[in-house]
Structure 1
């Protein structure tokens, strides 16, 4: 406050001015006749994610990831993980949820959103959030475990709805164990392995069969998605079953082969030296780029409505794929001509 103004104010007026200034600084800006409170009280419960959206309470856990593991590739190219669903909240939880959104709007100084949640909370307080009534609030939440780059849209438009006995749920997916299995499937990460080629990858020969050898230990991979508040869970388990190889070019005959794994304890094996299918390159890479040879592991995937991994047990899901690549250089076979005597 300027010194000139202080000298002209009496002690009582000065105290009042300071009090008003302190109150204005503490309460923040006002919208539509209401003061925005940028900070929630210490007792409020945080139920929002890092983006300020309503957080799903679905938790995912997975088996230890191997170095280089990548999100599962489904055998169904059209499959996508669920982008959103309706999750039940108690009246008390829904009260805390709206309070968190209310204070979030205040912290962001978003007047329109703040006014919206002020009005919503006023209506809810008038009906006491249905506290003491039988039923739950079905709230639309986003899948927190979508793989990077997933563009799956959420088509549901109703943000929340009270659902009591005999009341139909809002249109859209309500969380179930089957849906949790899709969440777990989307959270699954698979490892890959390179195969050993004979002749070696850097010394392939035109018109000479390429033998493949695979001999690696691979553990089953699992992922669990659960909603503890409802005692609802699903666990997905993936187990290696077969190997698919691709020559990486149309200049091969055949261009690809499939082999079943021979399990030996925790080790999976393939030796194509006696198999009916072996890739044979028909054109050299001399003077050009090498071919990209691919080895793809097929994983059989099952799920159970539990939080316990059970390999080979449960309902089948789409197979999963994991792929490794290696550069292959192909050379012409040099003929050796012996001089005649």
Structure 2
């Protein structure tokens, strides 16, 4: 029966509304900045009033940002259910949609019957297994809870996944958890994943010695000072009357991977991965007196770059953890990576024979 009701809701939305599936307001993209993502519509065309507030280091436009999940199979939630409207406001909105649909010329047969079932569901207590109906849109409980509705993730490229939260809006009392059958109902884990998706990592240029121009067979030292980069935090939160939930996702740098830009080079260590030091730095700055040493983090180029340059790529791996409302949290989100490239000129060592 829930499948039939969801199909009816789709008809209501298609007939009653002609609006975009998503609207948003975004501001800022720096540490301490914040942005707001409006809840999108579900298949009824209804717009959830609960906004996801993003703060910390987040992208300005709500895109996936700089972080790349190390697990290529991971993806953020394509949709979820979130608080929408109180009972009286919901009655006004939903009853208008239903009446408009029922009065649309040609609306009859199976579609008309299904819309009638939606009307009975909210007005006359008509329900089905695990889904009780409502009397007069639950207006006697106005102020004691909210109807929840489906929200699309605007950054989900698959339109079918994005629009898969198609259950009819359902009631949740203030302070109570959504019914267990709604696995996509917003919870700290979902907000943590969305904060991860919006996280913006800093552009980091690796310090090199020699800087810019090096010599063939001369070890080039590479390092990152602790002052150059640090933990990055991004928070996603929903705060509406009777309901508050949030999660903060933290990215901590753990290693630097060097790719010389040519196969004619040796990395130090051989794996090219430089782990973080006890003082949270990576590698070791070059100082006088170290010319005969092998750098703990660096590259030795074996041939000249000629008239051009080699594109050294430096990728930082970030360990991801999160904490959320109700003492929730964990390390179940995948590690993230972010890399930048910089030009390195490699010259032959000139010598004079006598």
For 2:230 and 2:171, locate their aligned partners in 1 and report how far apart those are by CA, in whole Å.
44
| Aligned pairs (5 A) from 1:80-229 | 80-89=75-84, 90-98=86-94, 122-123=119-120, 124-126=122-124, 127-132=135-140, 137-143=147-153, 146=155, 153-154=161-162, 156=164, 158-162=166-170, 170=181, 172-201=183-212, 203-215=213-225, 216-229=227-240
Which structure has the larger Rg over C-alpha atoms? 1
Structure 1 position 97, deviation (Å)? 4.7
Paired positions, count: 281
Contact map agreement 1:225 1:307 (CA 8 A) in 2: no
Aligned residue in 1 for 2:13: none
Matched, 1:78 2:91: no
- Partner-residue secondary structure (3-state), 1:299: strand
Match of 2:352 among 313, 336, 341: 336
Structure 1 position 192, deviation (Å)? 2.2
Contact map agreement 2:265 2:300 (CA 8 A) in 1: yes
Q: Aligned in 2, Cα 1:200/1:135: closer, same or farther, shift over 3 Å?
A: closer
Aligned residue in 2 for 1:292: 311
Q: Aligned in 2, Cα 1:180/1:110: closer, same or farther, shift over 3 Å?
A: farther
For 1:184 and 1:157, locate their aligned partners in 2 and report how far apart those are by CA, in whole Å.
20
Unaligned runs of 5+ in 1: 1-35, 39-46
Coordinate RMSD, CA, aligned = 4.6
Aligned residue in 2 for 1:247: 260
Contact map agreement 2:40 2:152 (CA 8 A) in 1: no
For 1:55 and 1:137, locate their aligned partners in 2 and report how far apart those are by CA, in whole Å.
9
For 1:283 and 1:116, locate their aligned partners in 2 and report how far apart those are by CA, in whole Å.
77
For 1:118 and 1:66, locate their aligned partners in 2 and report how far apart those are by CA, in whole Å.
41
Aligned residue in 2 for 1:16: none
Q: Aligned in 2, Cα 1:86/1:290: closer, same or farther, shift over 3 Å?
A: same
For 2:59 and 2:179, locate their aligned partners in 1 and report how far apart those are by CA, in whole Å.
45
Structure 1 position 247, deviation (Å)? 0.9
| 1:197-252 per-position Cα deviation (integer Å, ceiling 9, x unaligned) | 12222x22222221113223434321212222322221112233332222122222
Structure 1 position 121, deviation (Å)? 7.5
TM-score w.r.t. the length of structure 1 is: 0.64
TM-score w.r.t. the length of structure 2 is: 0.62
- Partner-residue secondary structure (3-state), 1:328: strand
Match of 2:299 among 279, 286, 303: 279
- Partner-residue secondary structure (3-state), 1:184: helix
